[in-house]
Chains A and B, each alone.
Chain A
Amino acid sequence: MTRAAAPRRRRLLAAVLTYVGAVLLAAFLLAPFVWLFISSLAPLADLIQRPLQWIPPHASFDRYRTIFFGADGRDFRFALRNSAEVAGLATSISLVAGMLGAYALSRFPSRGRSGLLYLMLATYMTPPVAILLPLYLILSRVGLLNSVLGLALVYTSFLTPFLTWILKGFFDAIPEELEEAARIDGASRVGSLVRVVLPLSLPGVITAVLFGVILAWDEFLYALIFTSSTAAKTLPVAISEFTSRFAVDYGLMAAGGIVAALPPLILAFALQRYLIAGLTAGSVKG
């Protein structure tokens, strides 16, 4: 080996190792989900045979047809609608409360401000079990058990503080001088928030909506306890029941999982930039 060849060989080896690592990582990230997708397409007979065939010889989208149009998919379709309504409603309420709150925390200098910020954080981190039982008693007393509205109100408990926290970071980045012109022209605080701050912090609003929808879509414990029929049951509850009710068809369960996963996955991939911005909003603030 010549002296010049050694570093080149080492560089080549490093490149090969990098790509071996990259392929392994991609396989690790993709394999479970790809298997779920394959399971949703393969006929049951293929899924339960030994030795298992990884690529099923006969694949079809029949189960997706069942879910969207068949009689067996009826409960699932209700759950899809309920999940969308709860996520939409909870995110809307929390967005309004969060925008006003974040604006106040960002603009009004006050001694208690950092205390209020930590209060928001503590509220977000409060575990559901800590408030679950009284909420159950309250909801049952006011007749909001098993209702989309009741569940959405409960979801504001973790969405409002989190969206406030995210939005405050974005509002902080907008110089106050920009608002002054509007204020001189007679705009109120709310007016300058709506006409000056919000348009400029549109990325913040998108980030907030993205996290609101994903978190609400994902929630399980409250939905399990507070809903009891197709009138309000959300997707996570429907899927957890799928397995006991259609215990035989693993493929139908897989198809249900894929359908339930698609909305948050599509949102997260389409809005990648905002997802990362939202995740790091907390960590740069420290």
Chain B
Amino acid sequence: MLLPALTVVAGVVGYPFLRTLYLGFFKAPLLGKTRTFVGLGNYLQAFERPEFRAAVGHTLAFTVGSIGLELILGVAVALFLDRAFVGRRILRALLILPLALPTVVNAVMWRWIYNPEYGALNALLTQTHLLPDYRSWLGAPGIAMAMIVVADVWKNFTLVALLVLAALQTIPVELHDAARVDGAGGVQRLRYITLPGIRPALLVALVLRTVEALKVFDIIYVMTRGGPASSTKTLSFLVYEEAFSFLQLGSAAAYAFLTVALILVFVAVYIRLLQSRGVAG
């Protein structure tokens, strides 16, 4: 009965993955039949190419920036919505809006908001006199990545918030009451009851979001195509460009494999974290 699922895993994922590794050993133009074996050439060359190093940097900047903000905002909102007040159900339902919004629609929406000539962000900031004049947000190398991070955080902090909120609601109220009777203050209860209670959910959110962020492609493609001046070019975008703009399948495959290696490093660290803290149930 496992056969259909295993067929998919082996056929649509396992086999192509090994082919990627194999393809990385060749100089292989996309158009054309000739392939030349270059051994580890593509893999070693990657580390020397400034584009690749820059892409690793951009990917890490996007990942650390968006995940840091998503965790902070997500936990804050979850703690807020865990309190009893009229209307919190509506707010919880509203969290679903960004979450279910297709990624490409989210990217198009924010690009329109950031529009240098007609965008809502420029209008808002100039009308409230926070900004003297309209400016370009996605066209400036220094801030384009930060603006993409904001767009990503708006959509994806909701996942963290919903996961953490679900975990918060499994913490018995009696635990807090008992601690309060024993004289524990708000900070102490947060430290010794709330945080241990949400740690498994936080780790799951962290792993899911990290893997997603390290392979980011669609939001970059729609918002900046890796620009301006390649300042938002991430690893997935580099693979795409190497294969389908420069038509170099071999080096693209090597980049792709190194991207997976980077993700594996992160996952391995998280698993160590999980095991050492004894969270796995």
Residues of A at under 8 Å CB distance from B? 15, 18-19, 21-22, 25-26, 28-30, 32-33, 35-36, 39, 47-48, 50-52, 54, 94, 96-98, 100-101, 103-105, 116, 119-120, 123, 125-138, 153-154, 156-157, 160-161, 164, 189-190, 214, 217-218, 220-221, 224-225, 235-236, 239-240, 242-243, 250, 253-254, 257, 260-261, 264-265, 267-269, 272, 275-276, 279-280, 282-286
Any chain A CB within 8 A of the CB of B159? Answer: yes
Which of A51, A127, A250 is most buried by chain B, counting CB atoms within 10 A of its CB? A127
Does B218 lie within 8 Å of A221, measured CB to CB? yes
Residues of B within 8 A of A275 (CB): 96, 100
| Residue in A30, A48, A126 with the greatest tally of chain B CB atoms within 10 Å | A126
Contact B105 A127 (CB under 8 A): no
Chain B residues, CB < 8 A from A189: 1
A120 with B5: CB separation less than 8 A: yes
**Contact among A119, A125, A137, A161 with B211 in the assembled complex (CB-CB below 8 Å):** A125
Smallest CB gap from B215: residue in A: A127
Interfacial chain B residues near A131, Cβ < 8 Å: 12-13, 16-17, 19-20
Lowest 10 CB-CB distances: which A-B pairs, in order?
A101-B5, A134-B19, A127-B215, A268-B100, A52-B123, A97-B4, A286-B281, A131-B16, A236-B104, A220-B218
Main secondary structure of the interface of B (DSSP, over half): helix
A92 and B108 CA atoms in complex are apart in Å by 29
Give chain B's interface residue range (CB within 8 Å of chain A).
35 or more
Cross-interface CB contact of A286 among B15, B101, B159, B279, cutoff 8 Å: B279
Q: A19-B85, A32-B113, A97-B8 are in contact. Are A130 and B105 (CB under 8 A)?
A: no
Beta-carbon contact of B17 and A126 below 8 Å: yes
Interface window among B36-44, B61-69, B86-94, B184-192: B86-94
With A280-B166, A283-B166: A236-B103 Cβ-Cβ less than 8 Å: yes
When the two chains form the complex, which single residue of B15, B96, B249 contacts A269, counting CB atoms closer than 8 Å? B96
Across the interface, do B17 and A217 meet the contact criterion of CB distance under 8 Å?
A: no
